[in-house]
Chain A
């Protein structure tokens, strides 16, 4: 699905002026302070046919992630690891500016940045997901469908992936007579850490967390930072043609770590709560 027409979201000059005036007083047009993220909700297990799933609402941005587990050959060079594949699609139901078609560069970037955060954090201990070393491994697909667009797809999609993976039940496969059989039993996924992605955007000289769609239409640059449970940075991605100064990057990283901790606690609480129900 193509997001390329997102540029057609025009923020009138007057509105932009209003936004800048508001930001300069430390308040955004939706009443948030500059480093305030929107509240989010997670509903787990919405897709019974998936091994795990999550419906995440970050403000008005909504993402459904589903985990599907199969077996297959390992990736080249990673013969002794399970395969993890994360995809994202911005569905045409999600906004009037999206048309059906193959994914454009923005959507591909989205899936890859979310994938990078999860992969680099080593959230799943993939070495535990091998059946026959070098031949047969668990293949875990996490497919994300973005169903309503209101900015910051990167973080919303990342939370959906993390929630779906953390709460999923992996089938137990065994090898019998050289064939893979599904035993019908399930196991907990080997989760080692909870990666949290925090996206900051720059509008003029101001840094804002968790942009909505109107703010994204005005942003000059974007920086997404993913941290793990230890509070270390595991992945970063700068986007758009604007720039950041070294000081800006430092303050964004500090914020991503402290804010990431807050969000991680909230994520854990929501996942724990959702699992119980």
Chain B
């Protein structure tokens, strides 16, 4: 890893002005795709990602159907204009892999036995990428699944932690991802306290790893609060309205 300039200054501020355990600004807008059964637009820092859910619905091709539970399919895709240099619209190997890990991060939260012989399709479209797009994608998809009314055991909230200038920080941005020391995305079911996605790029010793995991989960819990209030806002107006 090349660390040719300091990413955290003396006062503890990061390159984008955040402190080490601060999330970027997160906004979730539920139900923005009218045709979808459930959807959410997430703005996570400069990330701008739409997740849309269709289903449960009939499986095509039919032989893919499972007799005892639902099939989950997931496509993570980046628009050609989402990155600094134009990305070819054809799915890359990276996108194929991310599609798979996102599906596997969400599946544990879904009660798939409730929908035998059916399919749930999750489409995640990255309109603008800013580091941490898989976490933001999982977060948005989880809200979209809830919006679609699919039976779930828990929400899935995702946040990355990592090492920048030998300090553990949460919610790595683009610059920190490219120039920092380690990046560890985590997806977490906040009520069941289970981890459903865990990846790591970069070097962490055992102490660092433990701190990193703890910090990532704290980040996930913050993300969960935002997911929760976005759904409450859609279905009950503001939070105050619910309590009355």
Pair B77/A91 contact, Cβ less than 8 Å? yes
A-B contact count (CB 8 A): 83
Q: Which residues from B are CB-within-8-Å of A94?
A: 33, 35
Cα of A143 to Cα of B85 in the assembled complex, Å: 13
Q: Which of B50, B51, B81, B123 contacts A143 (CB 8 A)?
A: B81
Binary per-residue interface labels of chain A (38-63) against chain B in the complex, 1 for a CB within 8 Å, 0 otherwise: 00000000111110010000001000
Chain B nearest CB from A156 CB (Å) reads 14
Q: Which residues of B contact A67 (CB under 8 A)?
A: 81
Residue A148, interface by CB 8 Å = yes
Give the A interface residue count (CB, 8 A): 29
A70 and B79 CA atoms in complex are apart in Å by 16
Does A66 lie at the interface of the complex (its beta carbon under 8 Å from any beta carbon of B)? yes
Q: Please report which residues of chain B, range 120-169, place their CB below 8 angstroms from some CB of chain A when the two chains form the complex.
A: 121, 123, 125, 127-129
Tell me if A49 and B52 are in contact (CB < 8 A).
no
Q: Are B128 and A92 in contact (CB under 8 A)?
A: no
A99 CB-CB contact with B under 8 Å: yes
Residues of A within 8 A of B36 (CB): 93, 96
Given A87-B89, A91-B123, A150-B75 contact (CB < 8 Å): no
Q: Is the CB of B81 within 8 A of A148?
A: no
Q: Find out whether the CB atom of B75 lies under 8 angstroms from the CB atom of A143.
A: no
In the assembled complex, the Cα of A54 lies from the Cα of B123 at a distance in Å of 21
Is there a chain A Cβ closer than 8 Å to B34's Cβ?
A: yes
B34 touches A147 (CB 8 A): no
Q: How far is the CB of B57 from chain A (nearest CB, A)?
A: 7
Contacts of B50 in A (CB 8 A): 93, 147
Question: How many B residues touch the partner, as a band?
Answer: 20 to 34
- With contact pairs A92-B75, A96-B54, A99-B60 given, residues A70 and B123 touching in the complex (Cβ less than 8 Å): no
| Partner among B46, B77, B79, B83 whose Cβ is within 8 Å of the Cβ of A64 | B79
Partner of A68, one of B34, B46, B80, B121: B80
| A95 close to chain B: CB less than 8 A | yes
* Chain A window 53-85, contacts with chain B (Cβ cutoff 8 Å), 1 for yes, 0 for no: 100000010001011101000000000000000
Shortest C-beta distance, A120 to chain B (Å), equals 23
Contact residues of B between 72 and 110, Cβ < 8 Å to A: 75, 77, 79-86, 89
Picked from B33, B35, B75, B83, the residue with its CB within 8 Å of the CB of A49 is B83
- Smallest CB separation, A157 vs chain B (Å): 14
Interface members, chain A 77-126 (any B CB < 8 Å): 87, 89, 91-96, 99-100
Contact of B84 among A49, A89, A91, A93 (CB under 8 A): A49
Pick the most buried of A46, A66, A92, A143: most chain B CB atoms within 10 A of its CB: A92
Q: Are A147 and B125 in contact (CB under 8 A)?
A: yes
CB-contact partner of A93 in B52, B60, B86, under 8 A: B52
In contact, A68 and B86 (Cβ under 8 angstroms): yes
Q: Does B39 sit within 8 A of A, measured CB to CB?
A: yes
In the assembled complex, B117 has its CB within 8 A of some CB on chain A = no
Compute how far the CA of A93 lies from the CA of B31 in the bound complex, rounded to whole angstroms.
12
Contact B128 A93 (CB under 8 A): no
Which residues of chain A come closer than 8 Å to B80, judged between CB atoms? 66, 68, 87, 141, 143
CA distance A259 to B5 in the complex (A): 57
Min Cβ gap B202→A in Å is: 24
A145 proximal to B (CB < 8 A): yes
Q: Is A149 an interface residue (CB 8 A)?
A: yes
Q: List 9 interface pairs A-B (beta carbons < 8 Å), by A numbering.
A: A46-B48, A47-B81, A47-B128, A92-B75, A92-B121, A92-B123, A93-B36, A143-B80, A145-B125
The 8 closest A-B pairs by CB, nearest first: A66-B81, A93-B52, A143-B80, A68-B86, A50-B81, A93-B123, A92-B123, A95-B35
Q: Which residues of A contact B (CB under 8 A)?
A: 46-50, 53, 60, 64, 66-68, 70, 87, 89, 91-96, 99-100, 141, 143, 145, 147-150
